[in-house]
Amino acid sequence: MNGDRVNQIIDAYGGDRTSTLAMLQDIQREYNYLPREALELIARRLELPPGHVYQMATFFKAFSLSPKGEHICKVCLGTACHVKGGAIILEALEREFKVKSGSTTADGKLSVEGVRCLGACALAPIVVVDDEPHGQMSSDTSIKLVQEVVSGQVAKAPAPAEVKPAVVRAAVDLSAVPPAG
Ligand code: FES
């Protein structure tokens, strides 16, 4: 982990404790997970109990405390997506890429996981690859999409703030992903 980069993120928010969540989001985006050293650095810089920062990091499902793959594929397993085959898609991806849900391929290229309702049930079933949501997917279209992304045929989506509005993106508000629990 690059401590300078984490310090830059903290400085970007003026070291303000009320922006701790935003700092964690930026660090998650930067590293695809929250390194323990980053949490400790935030706690030190903001003069917060380390346990407080750790609690925030574990409360939200969108955060991960373990390293993720270069690309992340999330399959919605909410009720609407489940009814339309979400679980079947997830199983197909697990088989195709030889990875269990919630883990990462041996080469570190891809993490696959099932997630709760993303709030765009009309487009079920939904698959999100590198924060880019795709609606009305099937096992075949999901495998093809992930193959293209992992092989570099499809560019990784830019950070959400840089993305221009699109029909599907407008329908799926990833910032509204509910907390774990
Ligand atoms: S159940 Fe998948 S978006 Fe709602």
- pLDDT tens digits, residue range 53-106? 999 999 887 788 888 899 999 999 999 999 999 999 999 999 999 999 999 999
d(CA 85, CA 91) in angstroms, rounded, equals 10
Same domain, 93 and 172: yes
Question: Which residue's CA is the nearest one to ligand 1's atom 1?
Answer: 78
Structural domain ending residue among the three candidates 59, 85, 101: 59
Same domain, 98 and 170: yes
> Which one of 117, 128, 168 would you pick to mutate in the ligand 1 pocket, going by the greatest count of ligand atoms within 8 A of its CB?
117
**Predicted pLDDT at 158:** 54
The residue segments making up the domain with residue 81 are 71-176
Same domain, 55 and 140: no
Same domain, 76 and 51: no
pLDDT at position 39 over 50: yes
Please tell me which residue, 81 or 175, carries the higher pLDDT value.
Answer: 81
Same domain, 124 and 151: yes
Domain count within the chain:
2
pLDDT at position 181 over 60: no
Same domain, 76 and 128: yes
